[in-house]
Amino acid sequence: MLLVSIVIRQICGIVGYTGTSRLSRHNKRMFTRSVVLGVCLVVASAACSKSPTAPTPAPAGAPVLTTPTNGAQIPNQGQPVTLVVLNASGSAAGTTYTFEVASDIGFTTKVQTKDGVPAGITGQTSAQLDPLPAQKDYYWRARAQAPGAAGTFSDPFRFTIGGSITLGAPLPIGPLTNAETSSRPVLRVSNANRTGPTGPISYRFEIASDSGFAAPLVIGSNGEGINETGFTPTADLPMGNRLFWRAFAIDAANAVTSPSSTVQSFTPMPSQAEAVAQRLGVALWPGIKPPGTTGQATMGDNWQIQTLHYLPANVYFQSPDIEMLRIFDLLDRGFDPDGAAAWMNSNGYPTAALWYPPPEKAVIGLKYVYLASRNKVFVNGTWEIVLRVE
């Protein structure tokens, strides 16, 4: 208005100076009013055409932290860690997020910052961290950055990266390279050395026909034993073929697998009883196979395939038959005579075998023959079994 007044005065002065001799007082007043009105309209028009001031952008609210949860324990092998938040309420288009990780709750020592992360379109936004040093506590927080307005940081969450875990390679105990074994040998390793807070350890055993294990024949697992761990195949391996085996220690909870044990080779060979059964053309154990490993009995006299004569009944019969071979095989696996007969009768291989212990006989009686321990004693801790016609 001051400017208008000044303009009016200037105009009136000009009018008073130039128009006194030509205009009447009435016309002078009318002219002045027209000029003033025009000036006011010009000033008002200029004021109305000015653009209004844009409002200050409102900052978005704090995002909600979701993953990792407050107090989360993360295995070192579970890295890299991904931070996830629910998008801040009231987020405008073009909002980005800042994620901060620090070693202290006051964030004076920041270890990682992920800035300018675009808002996720699913209502969540995430950022993957670089690997962090193991066995430490960390704090993380996030904030939204709307165009022209930074939001506030969320309250921090704490998470812990677990200690570094290593597993050494298991050491093979047996069978060692070039060994001859039964059709189901027990593979044994010394338990792996380990460092760090491991979880439960198991062992994976692999058997293959090639040393590169391109096509394993058998893969099996077993929980860790005391000092050593073993595994026995559940089906017969091919006889007379050179095979290879190895083992790995596994901490599944922490996703850690050891290097392989040194590869060993072995050749499954039929046991004494299996070899005779093969010549007879019969299966020694067509159903359930007994536990244990062979090598604890020796075939003595008369185990060759032959026809024998049982004089009291004037009966000719083939010897050995499958019942004799099964009894021998169980003794070869470490069963005692009564235990051998009981196992057969409980697992679908009926037998009438009876044990007559020493000092009188030390024999196992069958239908037409008996199986005897030579000299009625163990020989070098194993049976030496001879076959006699009753």
Q: Do 311 and 332 reside in the same domain of the chain? A: yes
316, part of any domain: yes
pLDDT of residue 354 exceeding 70: yes
Q: Do 261 and 276 reside in the same domain of the chain? A: no
Comparing 15-29, 89-103, 240-254, 271-285, the range with the smallest average pLDDT is 15-29
Cβ-based burial of 304 (10 A; exposed 0-12, middle 13-18, buried ≥19): exposed
Distance separating alpha carbons of residues 5 and 20, to the nearest angstrom = 21
- The residue ranking higher by pLDDT, 336 or 28, is 336
Can you give the residue range of the structural domain that contains 120?
64-161
Q: Do 354 and 263 reside in the same domain of the chain? A: no
Q: Do 297 and 372 reside in the same domain of the chain? A: yes
Gap between the terminal Cα atoms of the chain? 142
Output the pLDDT for position 101.
Answer: 98
Output the pLDDT for position 87.
Answer: 94
Q: How many domains does the chain have?
A: 4
Q: Do 253 and 282 reside in the same domain of the chain? A: no
54, part of any domain: no
Mean pLDDT confidence for 330-340: 91
| Span 156-194, pLDDT tens digits | 999 999 888 999 999 999 999 999 988 889 999 999 999
Give the CATH number of the domain where residue 92 resides.
2.60.40.10
Q: Do 155 and 197 reside in the same domain of the chain? A: no
What are residue 330's phi and psi, to 5 degrees?
A: -70, -40
Q: Do 256 and 283 reside in the same domain of the chain? A: no
Mean pLDDT confidence for 315-332: 92
Residues 6+ apart with CB under 8 A from 118: 96, 97, 125
Task: Please answer whether residues 144 and 151 qualify as being in contact, where contact means their C-beta atoms are separated by less than 8 angstroms.
Answer: yes
Nearest to 273 by CA among 203, 183, 152, 180: 183
Output the pLDDT for position 23.
Answer: 39
pLDDT of residue 368 exceeding 90: no
What are residue 73's phi and psi, to 5 degrees?
A: -105, 120
Q: Do 218 and 303 reside in the same domain of the chain? A: no
Task: Please answer whether residues 246 and 264 qualify as being in contact, where contact means their C-beta atoms are separated by less than 8 angstroms.
Answer: yes
Output the pLDDT for position 383.
Answer: 60
20, part of any domain: yes
Q: Do 276 and 350 reside in the same domain of the chain? A: yes
pLDDT of residue 207 exceeding 80: yes
pLDDT of residue 7 exceeding 50: no
Of 239, 268, 297, the last residue of a domain is 268
Mean pLDDT confidence for 114-142: 95
Give the chain's mean pLDDT.
83
pLDDT of residue 205 exceeding 50: yes
352, part of any domain: yes
pLDDT of residue 6 exceeding 70: no
Output the pLDDT for position 138.
Answer: 98
pLDDT of residue 384 exceeding 80: no
333, part of any domain: yes
Side chain identity, residue 325: L
Output the pLDDT for position 42.
Answer: 37
Q: Do 69 and 148 reside in the same domain of the chain? A: yes
53, part of any domain: no
Three-state SS for 138?
A: strand
55, part of any domain: no
pLDDT of residue 21 exceeding 50: no
Output the pLDDT for position 58.
Answer: 56
Distance separating alpha carbons of residues 135 and 74, to the nearest angstrom = 10
Q: Do 280 and 384 reside in the same domain of the chain? A: yes
pLDDT of residue 112 exceeding 80: yes
Q: What is the DSSP string of 322-380?
A: HHHHHHHHHHHTT--HHHHHHHHHHTT-----EEE-TTT--EEE-SSEEEEEGGGS-BT
Of 129, 161, 193, the last residue of a domain is 161
Q: Do 243 and 187 reside in the same domain of the chain? A: yes
Task: Please answer whether residues 320 and 305 qualify as being in contact, where contact means their C-beta atoms are separated by less than 8 angstroms.
Answer: yes
Of 268, 294, 315, the last residue of a domain is 268
255, part of any domain: yes
pLDDT of residue 380 exceeding 60: no
